Amino acid sequence: MIRIACVTGADRGLGFYLVRWLLENKYTVFAGKYMAEPGELAALKEQYPERLKLIPLDIGSSESVKSAARSIAGSTGHLDLIINNAGIIQSADDATILVDMDDASLAHLYNVNALGALRVSNALMGLLLQSKQKLIVNISSEAGSISRNRRINMYGYCMSKAALNMQSSLLHNHLRVMGGQVMVFHPGWLQSYMSGEKDEGAPIPPEESARKIMNIVQEHKKYIGEEPAYLDLDGNVWPW
């Protein structure tokens, strides 16, 4: 059977390189595309015209997610892998409890980082359940770990990633009894565009992170347990 995956936030950064890895490893990929301009995905589409499907997708919008799910369902009867990669960081989230916080910014972070992944998994669940693999990979962060938290700010980002981790646990509990699984990754401090501009000061290129994540995902069955696997790029287990 042809292996089929869906990746959100595929325009650039980690999402783009996850898509590229999957294509290089014979997957058909539905790539969730947020940006209007063609970007790097255009060249990949030329290279893999049959196996790369570009799907307009804003995970912060229920209507966009439902429209994307209908489009995907019109092209395939199953999905083996969903990678919830899309996420954002906002500079307004630097505030501590000693200053006024931007409620709208905090809500937007939660809407995208936590609810966005839930919308996608929910909308595509019917297709995932038609697969033997039934695997969801959620790209979280070390910021989602409560026991290892040392910050005094970034309330919106940290809380949204902690919520994503709880979501992963709830979903894993359900999928596990149906032969499925959820994995959660801290992808490292990446040279990514999560704030809108590339973080040049970060030490890890996104292509390195994508490769290491997918090398671990390839062996996903050995990580099946009562809890979803919460791992870093070296396969180390992170505390919730």
Whole-number Å distance between alpha carbons of 116 and 110: 8
* All structural domains of the chain with their residue ranges: 4-231
May I ask the CATH architecture of the domain 4-231?
Answer: 3-Layer(aba) Sandwich (3.40)
Strand duo 81-84 + 52-56: pairing: unpaired
* Tens of each residue's pLDDT in the chain, 240 residues: 789 999 999 999 999 999 999 999 999 999 999 999 888 999 999 999 999 999 999 999 999 999 999 999 999 999 999 999 999 998 878 899 999 999 999 999 999 999 999 999 999 999 999 999 999 999 999 999 999 999 999 999 999 999 999 999 999 999 999 999 999 999 998 776 665 566 667 778 999 999 999 999 999 999 999 999 999 999 999 999
* Pair 178, 171: CB distance under 8 Å: no
Residue closest to 144 by CA, chosen among 231, 70, 45, 74:
231
What DSSP string describes 124-144?
A: HHHHHTTSSS-EEEEE--GGG
